[in-house]
A = this chain, B = another copy of it.
Amino acid sequence: MIIIESIEEMQRAADRLRVASKRIGFVPTMGFLHEGHLDLLRLAKQRCDTSIMSIFVNPTQFAAGEDLSTYPRDFERDCRLAEAIGCDIVFAPEAEEMYPPNDSTWVQVEDVGKGLEGSVRPTHFRGVSTVVTKLFHIVRPHVAVFGQKDAQQAALIRRMTADLHFGIDIVIAPIRREPDGLAMSSRNTYLSNQERKEALALFRALEIANALFSKGERHVDTLRHAVEEEILRSGNVQLDYTAIVDPDSFLPVEGNIERKALIAVAARVGKTRLIDNLIVRNGTTQS
């Protein structure tokens, strides 16, 4: 596995791979890898000749007062984990090179990025779509893999890739969970032992909605109420939002769920903000 820090060097390596007709699979991450990230890498390897993972804690997707400076980092461990899966290249640029002096270009996806995370974190998705555009231009992948845990981000990247005609296949990997159901996240490391237990409320609440849906409940108000009730029962968990939306447009579903819907929840456990989601669809369910 090789580590590349320079943008120009990464572009040259990608061009050489393309001239050699190698298919490039790309996994953009902010590092501090867990099994969820490694699943993305495994998918990229399955589908492509060469796998490239970027590790870059992107400043523009954090707002002032968010956890940019404390976001967990362990580059050497990340590289060991990526290499063990068979990653070919880790791309780890400096922020100063990703955002050159006088940088003033933004990629903005309207609609999909407006609600949920977009309304709680108004500049977040602009940072995500902009950095992913930069990374796509540098790594030049045929396939890029994102996780369903960040469901709105996944929908936004799919929309942006279609709109801007990137010509990149976007693959979305299912949520990887701990044995007790907690969705894996680099931010789980912030949780104390007590908070770690309380954090399960998000998964439990989604499971309750899932069970209701399986029994035939289709009305979004009933399902959302059940999720909220379960989360509010856990005294130390502060609900940010529960939303039931179309998984592609992220527009709210109203009344009864006709075909499928995404149930999303965001909450704070102590000072740690966590998100989780579940897709329900008539006939079957899928997390």
Given contacts A18-B18, A137-B164, A167-B137, contact A105 B108 (CB under 8 A): yes
Residues of B within 8 A of A19 (CB): 18-19, 21
Which chain B residue has the least Cβ–Cβ distance from A166? B137
Which residues in B have their C-beta under 8 angstroms from that of A164?
Answer: 105, 107, 130, 133-134, 137
Within 8 Å by CB of A112, from B104, B137, B159, lies: B104
Interface hits, A158-199 → B, CB 8 Å: 159-160, 162-167
Q: Which residues of B contact A134 (CB under 8 A)?
A: 163-165
Interface flag for A94 (CB, 8 Å)? no
Q: Assembly of this chain: how many copies?
A: 2
Q: How far is the CB of A117 from chain B (nearest CB, A)?
A: 16
The majority secondary structure among interface residues of chain A is mixed
CB-based nearest B residue for A167 = B11
Contacts of A129 in B (CB 8 A): 105
Query: What is the distance, in angstroms, from A5's C-beta to the closest C-beta of chain B?
Result: 14
In angstroms, Cα B160 to Cα A137, docked, is 12
Q: Does A283 contact B (CB under 8 A)?
A: no
Task: Tell me if A102 is interfacial: C-beta within 8 Å of chain B.
Answer: yes
CB pair A163–B108 under 8 Å, yes or no, is no
Chain B residues positioned under 8 Å from A98 (CB to CB)? 165
B-facing residues in A1-49 (Cβ within 8 Å): 7, 11, 15, 18-19, 21
Tell me, yes or no, whether A138 is within 8 Å of chain B by CB: yes
Q: How far is the CB of A226 from chain B (nearest CB, A)?
A: 31
